[in-house]
Structure 1
Amino acid sequence: MKKVLLLLANGFESYEASVFTDVFGWNLYEGDQNTELVSVGLHPVLSCTWGYSCIPMRQIEEVDLNDFDALAIPGGFEQANFYEDAFSEDFLSIIQHFDQANKPIAAICVAGLAVAKSGVLTDRFGTTYRFKNNPRQDQMKEYGVLVQSNERIVEDRNIITSSSPETALDVAFRLLELLTNEENTAEVKRRMGFA
């Protein structure tokens, strides 16, 4: 069984988290049934971008990172204090752990900034939110990332980053493909009505 750690920061965007829960949930019932997703937060209760509360399945101190095969990170909004958690040492060290083990890391939208800030994308290709004159992409460049401004999704070795919430489903399906295979992912897409 392949295990995915869904790392949630306060202020995360619920849609971006939900694509991982849905894709991996569908795989558990309708795909190869060989994946498990565990939502993990730094706090017992998290506040989502749009103001409602979420209780993660586990807090970070309750899990052994070595038990997981991949890391998934949804983005969030600065106004909802996303970066307070996403830029914390605890959060960044989790990203570093997965990269050091060469395990897949999938970051949607501004979650790529946390990946960049952790240092694991220095001199590597990536992207992040690309609207409003691209201040987030400029910020990513300051962290030493070779930003691919016009790409929706960028994959550099084990790290996937993306440019907006629109990419979320594609990122989740790509992570599923990396953990299972192309045929299984196509079947899950078909059963979900995307193919």
Structure 2
Amino acid sequence: MSEMAGKKIGILVEFNYEDLEIWYPLLRFREDGMETFTVGPEKDKVYQSKKGYPCKCDRSIETITDKDLDALIIPGGFAPDYWRRDKRFVDLAANMVRSGKPVGSICHGPWLLCSANVLKDKKVTCFHSIKDDVINAGGLYEDAPVVVDGNLITSRVPNDLPQFCKAILAQLKA
């Protein structure tokens, strides 16, 4: 049995998510025996990705707090634009960062972190089109496949997923 068995990883889901940014970590972390599940606005609702791939929501945001998770993953696509307008998601992201637990955010995912007001003086990366938003939120932008600053792990695009997941695993093992 893996040393990671029993770790609980929540991955946010909503309409217009980026396919690989949910599915790659969801399945990758299950390989190591972790309990990975999706968290969205409505339990059992099926959300379509940008390309139309379905993902059923395992747990409602109403039932999840930072105390229920060992790590949080915020995928990209256009879904983060919905989450950043919803206080429940903003509060979860902020509380996870402040708790010191690993928070992975990729592509457009840092939009949620901008709204959670947790980027000030933090080194981060993101999809290039939201770089200005990250900088305006106080983040110290770096163009790299993965950037780790404390418990905050950020990446740019789906091709960065191997490095992104390795960085999250390293945090969970620490």
User: How would you bin the TM-score normalised by the shorter chain?
Assistant: 0.7 to 0.9
Distance 1:165 1:3 in 2: 22
Query: Which is worse superposed, 162-171 or 57-66?
Result: 57-66
User: Following TM superposition, where does structure 1 have runs of at least 4 consecutive aligned residues deviating by more than 4 angstroms?
Assistant: none
SS at match of 1:39: strand
* TM-score, normalization by structure 2: 0.87
Corresponding residue for residue 91 of structure 1: 89
Corresponding residue for residue 107 of structure 1: 105
Distance 1:11 1:169 in 2: 22
Distance 2:155 2:90 in 1: 18
Corresponding residue for residue 147 of structure 1: 141
Per-residue deviation, residues 74-103 of structure 1 (Å, max 9, x unmatched): 1013xxx65123442221111011012111
Corresponding residue for residue 170 of structure 1: 163
Percent of residue pairs bearing the same amino acid type: 28
Q: Does 1:36 align with 2:35?
A: yes
Corresponding residue for residue 156 of structure 1: 149
Checking the alignment, whether the CA contact within 8 Å between 1:8 and 1:39 is kept in structure 2 is: yes
Checking the alignment, whether the CA contact within 8 Å between 1:86 and 1:111 is kept in structure 2 is: no
SS at match of 2:25: helix
Checking the alignment, whether the CA contact within 8 Å between 2:106 and 2:157 is kept in structure 1 is: yes
Distance 1:127 1:24 in 2: 22
Checking the alignment, whether the CA contact within 8 Å between 2:96 and 2:102 is kept in structure 1 is: yes
RMSD: 1.7
Distance 2:60 2:113 in 1: 20
Aligned pairs for 1:25-104 (under 5 A) are 25-28=30-33, 35-43=34-42, 44-77=45-78, 82-104=80-102
| Unaligned segments of structure 2, at least 5 residues | 1-5
Which AA in structure 2 matches 1:38?
A: F
Which AA in structure 1 matches 2:135?
A: K
Distance 2:127 2:11 in 1: 20
Distance 1:176 1:152 in 2: 16
Checking the alignment, whether the CA contact within 8 Å between 2:47 and 2:57 is kept in structure 1 is: yes
Which AA in structure 2 matches 1:157?
A: G
Distance 1:82 1:175 in 2: 20
Checking the alignment, whether the CA contact within 8 Å between 1:104 and 1:158 is kept in structure 2 is: yes
| Unaligned segments of structure 1, at least 5 residues | 29-34, 182-195
Q: Does 1:24 align with 2:29?
A: yes
Greater RCO between the two (CA within 8 Å, min separation 6)?
1
Checking the alignment, whether the CA contact within 8 Å between 1:9 and 1:86 is kept in structure 2 is: no
SS at match of 1:167: helix
Per-residue deviation, residues 124-159 of structure 1 (Å, max 9, x unmatched): 1111112xxxx31012111111111x3221111110
SS at match of 2:32: helix
Which AA in structure 2 matches 1:68?
A: L
Larger radius of gyration: 1
Q: Per-residue deviation at 1:64?
A: 4.1
